[in-house]
Amino acid sequence: MPPDILTWILLALLAAVVAGLLLLVRLEKRLAALASASRPAEDLARLTTAVEAIAKAHGELDLRRVEHVLIDLRDGQKRVEDRLLATLETRAEPRSQSSALERSGAALASALPERIVTRLLALGYERIQFVTPLAEIQALSAADGEVLVEARRDGAACKGRVVVRAGSVADLKFQSAYSIFP
């Protein structure tokens, strides 16, 4: 073979090797990009298993119970709002000096039911209803006695007595309806 042809063949072979190397470098870059793109898929798989584990752990969560708790919270919020509005309305009434003594006596008489309700709300009772007539409760504002009350606590009906001594709440005796049954 002539030396010119051999040179051309070697040059062509060298060009093919360089082109092959360039293709290999490009292929390596693509593989690296593909590997980095597959990492989020692995993270997604781990995330899926973690969410499934959380769902299994909280699978026992009773949606009805959650709904009842939310309803109780809403009812409590309504009661608080009503109490705040009532308080603001009584403060907004016009005041005259001639009826100041009448109002102070009425305030003392109406303060006992409010103190009873406030105490029961603080202890977690809700939907508080007086069985004893309001006139009798107001009469106890300067005496001793008992006030019969019905309320709910943790969703259960409760009945009980509020012991009043000298116009102040001395003791609470409540019993849940479910504790009555064996």
Residues 37 and 74 both lie in one domain: no
Rounded Cα distance between 154 and 126, Å, is 9
Q: pTM to 2 decimals? A: 0.41
pLDDT digits (tens, 9 = 90+) for 100-144: 444 444 454 567 888 888 888 888 888 889 998 888 888 887 788
Strand partners, 174: 160
Range from 18-22, 70-74, 97-101, 112-116 that averages highest in pLDDT: 18-22
Identity of residue 12: A
83 and 68 within one domain = yes
Alpha-carbon torsion (65, 77, 168, 159), positive or negative = negative
Contact 129, 147 (CB under 8 A): no
- The residue range of the domain holding 12 is 1-59
Q: Worst-scoring range by mean pLDDT, 58-72, 76-90, 98-112, 159-173?
A: 98-112
Q: How many domains does the chain have?
A: 3
Q: Using an 8 Å Cβ cutoff, are 176 and 156 in contact?
A: yes
pLDDT at 89 over 50: yes
pLDDT digits (tens, 9 = 90+) for 36-57: 777 766 777 788 888 888 877 7
Q: Is residue 105 part of a domain?
A: no
Based on the domain organization, do 85 and 129 belong to the same domain? no
Whether 135 and 154 map to the same domain: the answer is: yes
